[in-house]
Each structure stands twice: as C-alpha cells, then as structure tokens.
Structure 1
Amino acid sequence: MDLTTWLSLVVVCVMGAISPGPSLAVILRVSVSQSALHGVLASLSHGAGIGFWVFITLQGMAVLIEQHQQAFSILTVLGGLYLAWLGIKALRYAGKGKIDEVEAVKSSYWESIRDGLLIALMNPKIALFFLALFSQLVDAEMTAMMKVQFWTTVVVIDSGWYILVALLLTSGPVLPWLRRNMVWVDRVMGCLLTLIGLKVVIG
C-alpha cells in the first residue's frame, strides 16, 4: 500500500471515529456510568466488530475484482457517489448531532463487551461506509499483506480512539472538546468524504 493511500485511509478513519454517532454514545454511556475499564473493554469489542466488517468487505471486494471486474467498476462509481452524499450530508447538518447525558446503570464487564460489539455489528451503515471507502482505495494489485494493513489500520484507529475517550472521561477533556468542536469535526469529515467520492466520479 502506498503512503498516499494509507494516509487517506488513516485520515478518513480518524475523522469517522471521532464524529459523534451511536458508537460514541454507547462508549460514553458505559464509561461514565460504570468505569474506565468498562469503557476500554467496550472499545476493544467495538474494534473487533469493526474488524469483522472490514474483513467481510475486503473479502467480498477481492471476489469482485477477480471474477467480476465490470461489477467492481460499477461499485467503485456508486461507492464514490455514496461517499460524496455522506460528505454533503455531514456538511449540511454539521454540529446538529447530540451527545446525550448518560444515566448510571450497573452492568458487568461482559455486558460492556457485548454492548460495544453489538453497536458495531448491528449498524449496517458501517458496512456501507467501508464498502464505499474501500472501493476508492482497493485495486486489483492488492496483496494479502495489504489487506492486513487495511484491517490493522482501521481496527487500531477505532479501538484506540474509543479507549482514549474512555480513559480521559474521568478528567473531562474529551467530551467538552467534542461538544465545542462538533461543527468542525462534521465539516472536515464532510469535505474529506466529498473529495474522495468525487475524485473517482469525475475522473
């Protein structure tokens, strides 16, 4: 994987991870209502769920590239349009997402692990997002090692961000920062997705 492709993957995944959504809400709830350790475990299981979608997406795209090149080309264009649409939507509704306050509800470590895993596995938008993103970055030359690099990069970024959130919540800098900067997080994410999506559509 060349450096430009890897950096594109890193930047989009970082912005996607920090953008407020259902996953962040779950990690916040677990971390604040239970403990930092509960939040870390939920973060790791969430990363595992994301890793599942990455693996499935890469395997499916490998089959398309090898056996149905024309279908892959169509998917690439559709993926670009989808990313552009997500970007425009993020720009249009920048800062309008909410990070809700949480209530303390006692739960075990296993329940925290379950919650982190399920919020990743049960969100079909995650699969669509990676399908669209990878269709712009994956090509016929992709090796097994490159797939491992893709998988590792996404999982480390996702798990790492939520672990950071869980660990820093007790001192309070992450949540206030997100609330103050939600508009700019959404705007940057929107611009990145729009540019990546339009790149393939307009050639």
Structure 2
Amino acid sequence: MDFTQWSQLALICVMGAMSPGPSLAVILRNTISGGRTQGLMSGVGHGLGITFYSVVAITGLVALLKTVPNFFLIAQIIGSLFLILLGGKMIISGIGGEQDNGELKQSTITGYRGFSEGFLIAFLNPKIAVWLLALFSQFVQPDADFTEQLVMVSTVGGVDTSWYCLVAFLASSGGLVKAL
C-alpha cells in the first residue's frame, strides 16, 4: 500500500467516522450525562469495536482472495456499489433535511459502562461490518502481507478512536454543552 492509497483509506475513514448516526448519539449522550472521562471511554470502546470488525473483515477478505480466484473483482464491484449506495443515501437525507429529534436523557454512567456502550454500538451494528468489507475490498490485495493489513486496521481503528475522542472532548467543553 503506497501513501496515496493509504491517504484515500484514511480520508474515507474520516468521512465515515464523521457521518452522524447512532454511534455519535451514544458518544454525545455519554459525554453530556457522564462527563469527559465517560465520553472518552465511549470513544475508546467504539474505536476498539471498529478495530475488532476491521481485523475480522480484512482477515476474511485476504483468505477469500487467496482461495477464490475471481473473488477480488466480485468484491470490488459489490463493495463499490455499496459505497455508492451509502453515499447516495447520505446526500439524499442531507437534501431532504431529515433531522433526529431524539432527546438526550441525563444519567450516571461509569467508565466501564461508557466503554462497553461505545464498544457495543460499534460491534452490534451490522452496517459497520458491511461497510468495512466494502471499504477493504477496494484496498486489500490477495498478496497483502501482515504489515499492510496491520496498517489498514490501525488506520481504521485510529481514525475512529481519534474522532470520537475529539467529539467527547469538544462536547465536554463548557460552551458546547451549554449550546446543546
């Protein structure tokens, strides 16, 4: 994987992490109701959930690419179509002005609970698994060595953890909490 491919992977991961959804709602809820530490623990838990899925996705793809000769082309086409579908849905929902009116409830959560909720919101979301398979199908080569796989998994997990910890940090700062 060269720097250009890695940059593309990292940019896609940043955009994926930044897209609003249930993960963002959980991180914000835990941060606002439990403080900065709880939010950071939720972000770390979410990042580890994503990293776990990444390991499973990349390991499975490499195994399939080595055993099924035409799987690489099929995976790339299906993965591309899925990413296009997700992008189209995001654009359409943005144009339509769909908004979530869910209210954040005040609660007391521990660091462990914040971590586990962050992990579980990532781990129990099947769209994340499909998204990672679609994403990796564009970058994984059948002859990918362990180092290349490690770079990809670390990029995905690192970007996700960094983003949600940044969200927790910003959401726990005085001005933003008052605005919410």
Structure 1 moving runs of 4+ over 3 Å:
172-176
**Shift of residue 174, structure 1, vs aligned partner:** 9.3
Distance of 2:177 and 2:160 partners within structure 1:
16
SS in 1 for 2:104: coil
Distance of 1:131 and 1:145 partners within structure 2:
19
Query: Which structure 2 residues correspond to residues 159-174 of structure 1 after superposition, within 5 A?
Result: 159-171=161-173, 172-173=175-176
Distance of 2:69 and 2:176 partners within structure 1:
48
Task: Calculate the TM-score normalised by the size of structure 2.
Answer: 0.92
Check whether the contact 1:20–1:99 (CA below 8 A) recurs between aligned residues: no
Match of 1:59 in 2: 59
Match of 1:91 in 2: 91
Distance of 1:53 and 1:170 partners within structure 2:
28
AA matched with 1:33: S
1:37 aligns with 2:32: no
AA matched with 2:164: Y
Are the structure 2 counterparts of residues 174 and 147 from structure 1 closer, same or farther at C-alpha, using a change threshold of 3 Å?
farther
Check whether the contact 2:32–2:177 (CA below 8 A) recurs between aligned residues: no
Percent identity of the aligned residues? 38
Match of 2:46 in 1: 46
SS in 2 for 1:69: coil
Are the structure 2 counterparts of residues 152 and 159 from structure 1 closer, same or farther at C-alpha, using a change threshold of 3 Å?
same
SS in 1 for 2:100: coil
Distance of 1:112 and 1:160 partners within structure 2:
16
Q: Which runs of 5+ in 2 are unaligned?
A: none
**Shift of residue 112, structure 1, vs aligned partner:** 1.0
Distance of 1:137 and 1:72 partners within structure 2:
10
Task: Calculate the TM-score normalised by the size of structure 1.
Answer: 0.82
Distance of 1:52 and 1:167 partners within structure 2:
24
Distance of 2:54 and 2:120 partners within structure 1:
15
Aligned length: 177
Query: Which structure 2 residues correspond to residues 180-191 of structure 1 after superposition, within 5 A?
Result: none
Check whether the contact 1:50–1:155 (CA below 8 A) recurs between aligned residues: yes
Distance of 2:137 and 2:42 partners within structure 1:
29
Are the structure 2 counterparts of residues 135 and 141 from structure 1 closer, same or farther at C-alpha, using a change threshold of 3 Å?
same
